[in-house]
Amino acid sequence: MTTAPQELLKEYVQSQHFTSTAEIMTAMKEMFRDVVQTVMEVEMDEELGRERCQRAETTSAPNYRNGYTKKTVKTQLGEVEIKVPRDRNGSFEPKIIGKYSRNAEGMEEKILALYSCGMSQRDIAEQIKELYDVEISPDLVTKITEKIMPEVTA
């Protein structure tokens, strides 16, 4: 993965006039949302075999875009609301953030690290709330650790 050009970053920072780190975090959440949104649009283009607003070349039951579904994803930056594209057949499943997934990568690793240190599920939920301003239930912590533990033991 390549980094963004310095000139582009300087131009962006000068245009935003940041006065606090909270404003920078908000801007990063918006950038994260925009990048994830773009990735899902590209995935949809690949699924359908054409770009947005292009008609299908075949006439036998073509699949088309069918709007969006709003989804709140819990990330290391906090909660981010994204719009997941839909298709008419209901066959599109984004790869970047799975159909039923609500956590972006990174959060699970932090939960596992806290769990391996011997913290309880409730303590982990409180730590995630303090660190990332994201509400998770102790049940979610249990589900995540149960999902990850076979990989750790292997």
Over the stretch 89-147, which tens digit does the pLDDT of each residue have?
Answer: 888 888 888 777 777 766 767 777 787 777 888 888 888 777 777 777 888 777 777 77
Give the number of C-alpha atoms closer than 13 A to the C-alpha of residue 10, restricted to the C-beta side.
Answer: 3
Query: Residue 36: which of 112, 94, 92 has the closest Cα?
Result: 94
The model scores a pTM over 0.75 = no
Name the DSSP class of 17.
Answer: T
Instruction: Considering only residues 22 and 63, tell me which one the structure prediction assigns the higher pLDDT.
Output: 22
- pLDDT score of 82: 92
Compute CA distances 3 → 7, 8, 139, whole Å.
12, 11, 37
What digits encode the pLDDT tens for the residues 73-93?
A: 888 788 889 999 988 888 888
Q: What is the pLDDT of residue 64?
A: 79
Burial of 71 per CB tally in 10 Å (0-12, 13-18, 19+): middle
Q: What is the pLDDT of residue 154?
A: 54
